[in-house]
Amino acid sequence: MARTRTNLTRAIVLLALAAVFFITLDLSGSGSTSNVRRAFDTIFAPVEGVARVVTRPLSNAWEAVRQYDEVVDENDRLKEQVALQEGAAVAAAASVRLSQELLALNGLPTLAGINSVTAQVIGETPTNFSQTVEINQGSDSGIKVGMPVLNAAGLIGKVTEVFADRALVMLISDPDYALSVKVVTKSSRTPVTLPPLPTEDAPTVDSVLESTNTSSTSSTSSTTTTILGFTPGTTTIPPEVVAGAGGGSNITVPLASQLAVRETGILEGRGPGTRPIVRFLDASTRGSAIEVGAPIVSAGGSRSLAPPDIVIGVVSRVVERLGTAGPVLEIDLVADLSSLSFLRVLLYQPITESGR
């Protein structure tokens, strides 16, 4: 009896030390804990699969009882919203395409050049103290740790654990999540309006496109461009944009200093039910006032967790702070994290996560 108790005590001490050792390893970013998780997953996944099949009817019954009225209301609301959005979506798609063409013309990175994998959410976090979801695609589909995850609305998080046929995604609302972002603010200065130029002095579309590495044909009102990596399309230029055309209307010239200001900061999650915040706004560019409703997009860069210009949300509140600390921005996310279904994993692994 005494021997058994001694053995138990030894086992407790050993396991407690192992727990502390594993915590240290995991927090230092060691890959060995991922191997432990993968090995355990090999045993656990079949058991979990069976449990999922058995418990799914019970979960569905619970959801049906709890959410029936909400689902009916939501369905009506969504039908109305879809009707409203259909027209806007066509215009938005044209704008996005134009924007991608312009970015490609200037040699800037775009999301169009990054492959992605579509995945479905198959599980939520079982604990109250982490914000993760489980998706049904893993390393077999090319997913790696650190890759950004989006839904139809915008960025929702990043991949933190990868198994062969599934992965765990840390949501943007998790307090451990941080990402460099840009706040697109309006310039406080008004653009300068110039009188119309004489026709012979005005730059034509031909002269602008000749300086780029593309083939193009153009007239005064429309131009067709062929850009590597994009489907050719026709871009219609309104007559008033081309100087001298259309009866000599005034030209609004936005100088570089008068374009939208992009302030960079760090977005941090603050747990479920609480809006994420943006801190550490770059002091050198904080001159212009940040307004409620200003869009937040990912900043990109070689060490960033996500490529540039992925939509994240809009500023919902600006909390001014004394001194040089700068304001803290509360963010309304565009993605609804409470009802995630289909997600898109961008096959873009940041340098900081390579090798994991």
Residues that bind another protein (CB under 8 A): 4-5, 8-9, 11-12, 15-16, 18-23, 25-27, 33, 36-37, 40-41, 43-44, 47-48, 50-52, 55-56, 58-59, 62-63, 123-130, 132, 160-161, 168, 170, 175-176, 269-274
Residue 158, strand partner residues: 148, 170
- When the beta carbons of 269 and 308 are compared against another protein, the nearer one is 269
Q: What six digits make up the tokens of 285?
A: 């560019």
- Beta carbon nearer to another protein, 10 or 317: 10
Shorter beta-carbon distance to another protein: residue 20 or 292 = 20
Write down the least CB distance from residue 7 to another protein, Å. 9
Nearer to another protein among residue 30 and residue 95 (C-beta): 30
Q: Are strands 178-185 and 261-268 parallel, antiparallel or unpaired?
A: antiparallel
Q: What does the buried/exposed string (b/e) look like for 301-311 if buried means 16 or more CB atoms within 10 Å of the residue's CB?
A: eeebbbbbbbb
Closest approach, Cβ 64 to another protein, in A, equals 12
Q: Partners of 119 in the beta sheet?
A: 343
Minimum distance between the CB of residue 188 and another protein, rounded to whole angstroms?
35
Compare residues 122 and 319 and give the one whose CB is closer to another protein.
122
Amino acid at 12: I
Least distance to another protein from the beta carbon of 51, Å?
3
Instruction: Order the strands of the 215-218 sheet from edge to edge.
Output: 215-218, 222-226, 233-236
Q: Min. distance of Cβ 230 from another protein in angstroms? A: 37
Nearer to another protein, 279 or 286 (CB): 279
Minimum CB separation of residue 53 from another protein in Å reads 9
- Compute the least distance from the CB of residue 284 to another protein, in Å: 28
